[in-house]
């Protein structure tokens, strides 16, 4: 039976279309997704639990990489070019988590005074204060400032289970005062 | 010379009478009427085949100008030809009058009515350039309640419909980007297959189609490019409105489930949401 050029082209299009659906079949069968971002908090993140069992929070891992240095757990986002990395100063983002003695609010205020005291150009130093409530229901007291050109700091204080206060110290080479990804890490923080 | 002139006049008169008897001087509709007559000789009929009516355009009823033709056994077979080429005014039917006669194979056109306009028959969609907007989520960013922050995407697509009739099969190649971000945002590229019915109502062709597509999505997280897999399932309801026989604009409202799959440290995780989409397009 003789096939016209048009019929052949039509057949090839149909073949492509059917092939596409066959390729998509596994996606259609198993591809409706695991986590509903419309109802599940912190979808797409990894829950990190402190090895000592003191706290947990969600982060995007990678690019965040956790590492324990002595008593302090350090999280860092390394630069894309790892060949130039010699220490933590090369990291694009860092997070130190430790504990201090005092209430979250008083610790935030004392740190604010310390920042003013050590700043060389204190008159031009801009400090932003804020308070957020985590999803677990804890109040977090924030402090954000720019210690030097190209560096950005954001510290958060949350009440621990005892008289201790958790201090989350974020550092970055990009503005983070209103970064929603940093905010998510704070919102998900929960003392255990 | 006088008798010669009289003989010539007589000859011309006879010739005209003969032509009139053969119908050659009759009006065009006389040809149409004659065309309906069968050929007596079967051999000649087979040789000549079906005779063509050169006068009546196809599909147009032939009305006799100058009033209704005479009917009945004593009526002349050839009506009088109009003396001018002007189209005579249609005669309004008198009460109780019989409708005008027409050729037997063509239904009569009511007197006083205009011929109906040809039906608009569009060439159903074959290629379309479209723009779609939908909301997805920004992985790793949250609002105050911990739910993932909304992230709108704009997408341009080239849609090809290799089959387009009562149903249409489509292939859509799309590129989308995080709305409002000229650089440094998320983006994706997908290939999507679609299937669904469409109804040809002339200038408006409503359609419904199910779609499934897969592709690549670049997520930008903490100054890092994170490659992920992106796919989507959904339905579109809309209509193509034709401004020409082979040109249309289309509008569609869709319900989508975009899914983002990515590698975590020890697992492959997928995140989805259900969202509305809006799509407009122009095509041929």
Verify that B165 and B96 share a domain, yes or no.
no
Contact flag B146-A63 (C-beta cutoff 8 Å) = no
Q: Which pLDDT score is estimated for B82? A: 46
Residue A132 predicted with pLDDT over 60 = yes
Using CB atoms, which residue from A46, A80, A92 is nearest to B265?
A46
3-state secondary structure chain A: CCCCHHHHHHHHHHHHHHHHHHHHHHHHHHCCCCEECCCCCCCCCEEEECCCCCEEEEECCCCCEEEEECCEEEEEECCCCHHHCCCHHHCCEEEEEEEEECCHHHHHHHHHHHHHHHCCCHHHCCEEEEEEECCCCCEEEEEEEEEECCEEEEEEEEECCCCEEEEEEEEECCCCCCCHHHHHHHHCCEEC
Residues in A closer than 8 angstroms to B231, CB to CB, are 24, 27, 31
Range(s) of the domain holding residue B225:
127-283
Q: Which pLDDT score is estimated for A7? A: 59
Contact flag A36-B272 (C-beta cutoff 8 Å) = yes
Q: pTM here?
A: 0.67
Residue B59 lies in a domain: yes
Residues in B closer than 8 angstroms to A61, CB to CB, are 264-265
Phi-psi region of B119 (alpha: psi -120 to 50; beta: other; left: phi over 0): beta
Verify that B62 and B24 share a domain, yes or no.
yes
Verify that B99 and B155 share a domain, yes or no.
no
Contact flag A43-B137 (C-beta cutoff 8 Å) = yes
Residues in A closer than 8 angstroms to B225, CB to CB, are 80
Verify that B103 and B131 share a domain, yes or no.
no
Q: Is the ipTM of this complex over 0.95?
A: no
Residue B200 lies in a domain: yes
Q: Which pLDDT score is estimated for B281? A: 96
Question: Which residues 128-167 in chain A show a CB within 8 A of chain B?
Answer: 132-133, 135
**Which of A71-80, A81-90, A126-135 comes out lowest in average pLDDT?**
A81-90
Cα angle B98, B101, B103; round to 5: 155
Number of structural domains, chain B? 2
Verify that B189 and B68 share a domain, yes or no.
no
Using CB atoms, which residue from A17, A27, A135 is nearest to B214?
A27
Verify that B142 and B109 share a domain, yes or no.
no
Question: Which residues 34-73 in chain A show a CB within 8 A of chain B?
Answer: 34-46, 60-64
Contact flag B222-A36 (C-beta cutoff 8 Å) = no
| pLDDT tens, position by position, A138-183 | 899 999 988 887 889 999 999 887 778 999 999 998 888 888 899 9
A118 CA: distance to closest CA in chain B (Å): 29
Residues in B closer than 8 angstroms to A63, CB to CB, are 221-222, 224, 226
Q: Exposure of B137 by Cβ count < 10 A (0-12 exposed, 13-18 middle, 19+ buried)?
A: buried
What residue ranges of chain B have pLDDT lower than 70?
Answer: 1-39, 44-115
Contact flag B171-A46 (C-beta cutoff 8 Å) = no
- Closest Cα in chain B to A20: B193
Residues in B closer than 8 angstroms to A137, CB to CB, are none
Size of interface A-B (CB pairs under 8 A): 139
Residue B279 lies in a domain: yes
Parse chain A into domains and list their residue ranges.
1-32, 46-191
Using CB atoms, which residue from A37, A64, A187 is nearest to B137?
A37
Residue B119 lies in a domain: no
Q: Which pLDDT score is estimated for B79? A: 46
Domain A46-191 adopts which CATH fold? Protein Transport Mog1p; Chain A (3.40.1000)
CATH of the domain at B137: 2.40.160.20
Verify that B104 and B208 share a domain, yes or no.
no
Residue A111 predicted with pLDDT over 60 = yes
Residues in B closer than 8 angstroms to A181, CB to CB, are 140-141, 221-222
Residue B109 lies in a domain: yes
Contact flag A39-B214 (C-beta cutoff 8 Å) = no
A92 touches chain B (CB under 8 A): yes
Contact flag B163-A33 (C-beta cutoff 8 Å) = no
Which of B127, B137, B148, B214 is the best substitution to test chain A (most A C-beta atoms within 10 A)?
A: B148
Verify that B173 and B108 share a domain, yes or no.
no
Verify that B99 and B152 share a domain, yes or no.
no
Residue A13 predicted with pLDDT over 80 = no
Residue B97 lies in a domain: yes
Which of B222, B234, B258 is the best substitution to test chain A (most A C-beta atoms within 10 A)?
A: B222
Q: How far apart are CA B133 and CA A70, in angstroms?
A: 49
Residue B85 lies in a domain: no
Verify that B103 and B152 share a domain, yes or no.
no
Residue B255 lies in a domain: yes
A30 versus B192: which is more confidently predicted? B192
């Amino acid at each position: 039976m003789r096939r016209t050029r048009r019929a052949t082209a039509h057949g090839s299009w149909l073949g492509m279309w059917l092939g596409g659906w066959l390729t998509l079949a596994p996606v259609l069968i198993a591809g409706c997704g695991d986590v509903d971002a419309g109802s599940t908090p912190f979808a797409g993140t990894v829950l990190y639990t402190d090895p000592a069992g003191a706290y947990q929070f969600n982060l995007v891992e990678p690019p965040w990489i956790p590492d324990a240095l002595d008593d302090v757990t350090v999280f860092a986002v390394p630069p894309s070019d790892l060949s130039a990395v010699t220490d933590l100063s090369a990291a694009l983002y860092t997070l130190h988590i430790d504990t201090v003695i005092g209430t979250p609010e008083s610790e935030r205020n004392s740190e604010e005074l310390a920042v003013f005291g050590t700043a060389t150009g204190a008159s031009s130093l801009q400090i932003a204060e804020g308070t957020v409530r985590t999803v677990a229901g804890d109040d977090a007291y924030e402090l954000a400032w720019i210690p030097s050109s190209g560096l950005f700091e954001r510290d958060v204080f949350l009440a621990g289970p005892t008289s201790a206060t958790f201090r989350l110290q974020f550092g970055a080479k990009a503005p983070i005062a209103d970064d929603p990804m940093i905010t998510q890490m704070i919102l998900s923080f929960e003392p255990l | 010379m006088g008798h010669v002139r009289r003989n010539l006049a007589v000859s011309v008169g006879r010739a005209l009478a003969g032509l009139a008897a053969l119908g050659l001087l009759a009006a065009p509709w006389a040809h149409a009427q004659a065309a309906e007559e069968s050929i007596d000789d079967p051999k000649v009929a087979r040789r000549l085949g079906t005779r063509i009516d050169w006068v009546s355009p196809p599909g147009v009823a032939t009305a006799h100008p100058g009033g209704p033709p005479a009917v009945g056994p004593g009526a002349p077979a050839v009506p009088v030809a109009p003396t001018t080429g002007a189209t005579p005014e249609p005669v309004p039917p008198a009460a109780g009058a019989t409708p005008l006669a027409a050729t037997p194979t063509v239904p009569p056109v009511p007197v006083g009515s205009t011929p109906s306009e040809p039906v608009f028959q569009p060439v159903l969609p074959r290629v379309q350039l479209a723009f779609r907007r939908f909301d997805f989520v920004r992985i790793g960013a949250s609002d105050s309640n911990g739910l993932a922050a909304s992230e709108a995407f704009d997408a341009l697509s080239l849609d090809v419909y290799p089959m387009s009739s009562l149903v249409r099969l489509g292939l859509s190649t799309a590129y989308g980007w995080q709305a409002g971000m000229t650089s440094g945002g998320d983006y994706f590229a997908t290939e999507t297959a679609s299937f669904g019915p469409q109804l040809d109502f002339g200038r408006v062709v409503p359609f419904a189609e199910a779609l499934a597509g897969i592709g690549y999505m670049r997520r930008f997280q903490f100054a890092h490019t994170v490659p992920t897999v992106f796919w989507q399932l959904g339905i579109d309801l809309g209509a193509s409105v034709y401004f020409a026989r082979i040109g249309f604009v289309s509008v569609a409202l869709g319900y989508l489930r975009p899914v983002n799959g990515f590698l975590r440290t020890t697992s492959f995780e997928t995140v989805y949401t259900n969202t509305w989409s809006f799509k407009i397009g122009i095509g041929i």
